[in-house]
Amino acid sequence: MTDWPLEIHAALRRAGVSLVSYVPDAGHKRLIELCRDDPGMEAVVLTTEEEGVGFASGAWLGGRRAALLMQSSGIGNCPNALAMARTCGFPVLMLVTMRGEWGEFNPWQFPMGQTGPDVLRLAGCAVHRVERAEEAGPTVEAAAKLAFDSRVAVAVLIAQRLVGTKSFQR
C-alpha cells in the first residue's frame, strides 16, 4: 500500500512549501512528524484552524509557501479568514482529514464532515478529494500548483476511509 503521508510530504517539498501549520490531529500524525523532522520545513502548532489562514497569508507576504493541516471539524472556523485571503489574493493550501464519513462513531463529527466541502466551496475554495493512497501525492501537487500559481484557496480533503476510523471502545 502507498504511504500517503510520505507522498504528501514529498509533494509539499516539490511545491516549495517550507512552512506547515497544524492543529494537532491523529489523522495527520505521521505527516506532521515528517514535516517536523524535515530540516527544510518549519512546523507550527496552532490553537485554531483560522489562525492557519492568516499564517499562510503572512508566509506568502514574506516570500514563503505554507500549508495548513486540519481535521474536517475545523472547517467551520475558517470562512471569515478565507474571505480575507480571497479578497487579498493570498494562496491558502489546506489538507483536511475528514471525519463524519466512513465508519464514524462520533455524531459530533457528522455535521461538518458532511457539509464541510460545501462550506469550503461557498467560501471560495477549490476542493479536491483523495479517496485512495496513490492519489495523495499527485492531488496535493496539483492543488499546490493551483493555489500558488493562481493565488486562491484550495482544500484537499483526505477521505476518512483512507485515514481510518477512530473508536473510544477497546
Q: Are 163 and 97 in contact (CB under 8 A)?
A: yes
15-73 pLDDT, tens digit each: 999 999 999 988 999 999 999 999 999 999 999 999 999 999 999 999 999 999 999 98
Domain extents in the chain: 4-163
Distance, CA of 155 to chain centre: 6
**Could you give the 3-state DSSP secondary structure of residue 109?**
helix
Q: Which residues contact 138 (CB under 8 A, 6 or more apart)?
A: 11
Distance, CA of 55 to chain centre: 13
d(CA 136, CA 67): 15
Q: Are 27 and 53 in contact (CB under 8 A)?
A: no
120-155 pLDDT, tens digit each: 999 999 999 999 999 999 999 999 999 999 999 999
Please tell me the CATH code under which domain 4-163 is placed.
3.40.50.970
